[in-house]
Amino acid sequence: MRSPELEALRSKLDSIDDELLDLLSERAHVVAEIWAWKRKNGVERIDPERERALRERLLSRAESLGLSRAAIERVLAQIIGNSLK
């Protein structure tokens, strides 16, 4: 059975998913710019302190939004890990 209400919710979810992909693409471009800057200026590519602070900030925000810390840790591991490749 097709419900207009369900279809509207699915459409909204599709839009959110598209936004997530757009943001991930934008993030990848910014990471590339940062790496280019670091290479040009002789700065180490990986900054463990920055990564730790980033993870902690995002995990804290996720918890304040009612999201599972464990789930967000896995998501961040993928996003940040992909940035380090």
Given this model, what pLDDT does residue 31 score? 95
* pLDDT tens, position by position, 15-72: 999 999 999 999 999 999 999 999 999 999 999 999 999 999 999 999 999 999 999 9
Angle of CA points 48, 49, 53, to nearest 5°: 115
Q: Check if the beta carbon of residue 27 is closer than 8 Å to that of residue 83.
A: yes
Given this model, what pLDDT does residue 53 score? 96
83 pLDDT band, cuts 50/70/90, is confident
* Global pTM value: 0.86
Please choose, from the candidates 62, 85, 64, the residue with its C-alpha nearest in 3D space to the C-alpha of residue 73. Answer: 62
Please choose, from the candidates 39, 82, 76, 71, the residue with its C-alpha nearest in 3D space to the C-alpha of residue 56. Answer: 76
